[in-house]
Structure 1
Amino acid sequence: MSWIALALGAAVGLVLGLLGGGGSVLAIPLLTYGLGLEAKPAVATSLFVVGVAALVGSGFHARSGRVHFKVALAFGVLGGLGGLLGSQLARLIPGTAQLVLFAAIMLFAGVRMLRHEPSEEGRDLGEEPAHEAAAATPRASGWAIAAAALATGVLTGVVGVGGGFLIVPALVLLVQLPMRDAIGTSLLVIVLNAVGGSLGYLAYVSLDLSIALPFALGAGALALVGGALSQRLSPRWLQVVFAVGILVMGVGMLLKEGLALLTPS
């Protein structure tokens, strides 16, 4: 089982390294259907894995000066509280309903990835080629930023995704970070969100370390490989292939879990 967990975690890490995000969307289906975990243990394990992989990724971005630590700390502390809150809300949600919600998020993320090209998105939102992190000049009020941080944290806690597809736009549009800086900063925010969510789940879910540790090890190691390969492959091509893949998985998951939710036991 540990070798299977290692291999599946490696797949998650490879996608994360190639695309700079999105790998966490694969974690829940692989943990539930590949390793046979129930919904809540799968979400708790996903949070642990997402946190490890995001920590590895944030280290690379930090060396390039693409992490705004003050922004990440402010956003991430609130996000961590949101993750803790989300994990407690999840206690009230049936596991099947959690998976249906997760499948809907997969479809949203897949459609969004098909509609936005990485290079165009960066230019449209003010991407800068400089190697040093640009100063953040918030456009929105502190209350709006705090609400966004809490909301993304709650989502992380409820369904176990990193939430980068929400955190990055929030950092760009509300805090006015350049796209590259937003990506790097979001990884550190994801770490803090995942910590909050994980602590909440550990209060009522047992983490199977024989699965969680090799899964996280595979994800962390292959994130490095994926990051190196991403320099040689077309980001748009990779994004389209991955988006189609998660759309297919999302539809299948939504049908399976939706029917289970509607069918009386």
Structure 2
Amino acid sequence: MTGVLAGALGLVVGLVIGTLGGGGGVLAVPALVYALGQDARTATTGSIVIVGIISAAGVLARLRGRTIDWRTGVGFGVVGVPTAWAGSLVNRAVPQPVLLLSFAALTLLIAVLMLVRGSSSARRTDGAGPSPGTPDGGSGVPAAGGGTSGATAVLEAPTRRRATVRRVAKIAGAGSVVGFLTGFLGVGGGFLVVPALTMLMGLSMPAAIGTSLLVLTFNSISSMGARIGHLDLDWAVIGPFAAVAVLGALGGKLVADRMSGAALNRAFAGLLVAVGLFVGVQSLLAL
């Protein structure tokens, strides 16, 4: 009976990860704790295994498409490896109520940020028009042959360098934070990666979803490495959970291909609000 329930929950988690590029760990941890009776530390470890398997399957399913920003994804993954390891070490020293309350608070914060950012983007899009001084909506840069192309090129070079430095700094900072929280909370980090890729790196929601799966694969492998001597895995639960979740992830990709970026953003934020409130209330009642 436990295996059947684990499979059913795995299907839901897989659909969420396949559709939204993250959030599966946000569901997997409460599912393992409240539905399958595991303690928080065992659940966070099991969640990392499950999310890692699902994410790797999601990356393979997207290899032929153009929905993965490989440079950004590899950058996030590489800088997150040492911090995910550190987060896993901290996880073992923190009491269970603190883990679950931290989990709930972070999901609610990210949901609010995504909803606010989504609303702001929608207002900018609705009011978009030609830039001042450029009636045709052009860039305002003189065309070649106007006598200023050389000067423009000289000015653009340092601008491009500054933009590159800013982008690298964003990847290093956000990737490090996401990696640490992946190890600490055992959630794969997708519910942080997707907002980071859209709000900080400027990726579209479909690209952020595909890239997030690549980052989750990196972070899950690193987090498992840090736990290798302290594994407490119930394969009777994790096996059917992960196996069915992979099938759900493949189905989720088909759903994502038919949804707009705005709809995906709202769905992701709504999921975080629901899970954050549930875990927060349950954790407070258990104090």
TM-score normalised according to structure 1 size: 0.80
Aligned to 1:29: 30
Seen in structure 2, the aligned counterparts of structure 1 residues 37 and 117 have a Cα distance that, compared at 3 Å, is same
Seen in structure 2, the aligned counterparts of structure 1 residues 234 and 40 have a Cα distance that, compared at 3 Å, is same
Seen in structure 2, the aligned counterparts of structure 1 residues 2 and 165 have a Cα distance that, compared at 3 Å, is closer
Amino acid at match of 1:79: G
Aligned to 2:103: 102
> How far apart, CA to CA, are the structure 2 residues paired with 1:242 and 1:55?
20
2:164 aligns with one of 135, 138, 142: 138
> How far apart, CA to CA, are the structure 2 residues paired with 1:185 and 1:252?
28
> How far apart, CA to CA, are the structure 1 residues paired with 2:85 and 2:28?
20
Higher RCO (CA < 8 A, seq sep 6+): 2
Matched, 1:76 2:67: no
Aligned to 1:149: 175
> How far apart, CA to CA, are the structure 1 residues paired with 2:58 and 2:93?
33
Aligned to 1:42: 43
1:9 CA displacement: 0.7
Structure 1 unaligned segments of length 5 or more: list them: 125-136
Amino acid at match of 1:226: G
Aligned to 1:227: 253
Aligned to 2:55: 54
Matched, 1:13 2:14: yes
> How far apart, CA to CA, are the structure 2 residues paired with 1:172 and 1:248?
21
- What SS is found at the alignment partner of 2:62? helix
- What SS is found at the alignment partner of 1:138? helix
The number of equivalent residue pairs is 248
**Shift >6 Å, 4+ stretches:** none
Q: Is the 1:19–1:235 Cα contact (8 Å) retained in structure 2?
A: no
Matched, 1:187 2:213: yes
1:178 CA displacement: 5.2
> How far apart, CA to CA, are the structure 2 residues paired with 1:238 and 1:116?
13
Aligned to 1:133: none
Larger radius of gyration: 2
> How far apart, CA to CA, are the structure 2 residues paired with 1:103 and 1:177?
26
Q: Is the 2:20–2:209 Cα contact (8 Å) retained in structure 1?
A: no
1:245 CA displacement: 5.2
> How far apart, CA to CA, are the structure 1 residues paired with 2:19 and 2:55?
13
Structure 2 unaligned segments of length 5 or more: list them: 126-162
- What per-residue deviation string (whole Å, max 9, x for no partner) do you get for residues 114-151 of structure 1? 44559x57x97xxxxxxxxxxxx735164553232221
Amino acid at match of 1:19: L
Alignment of 1:213-224 (within 5 A): 213-224=239-250
Amino acid at match of 2:238: A
Amino acid at match of 2:223: G
Q: Is the 1:58–1:184 Cα contact (8 Å) retained in structure 2?
A: yes
> What do you get for the CA RMSD once the two structures are aligned?
3.0
Aligned to 1:161: 187
1:97 CA displacement: 0.8
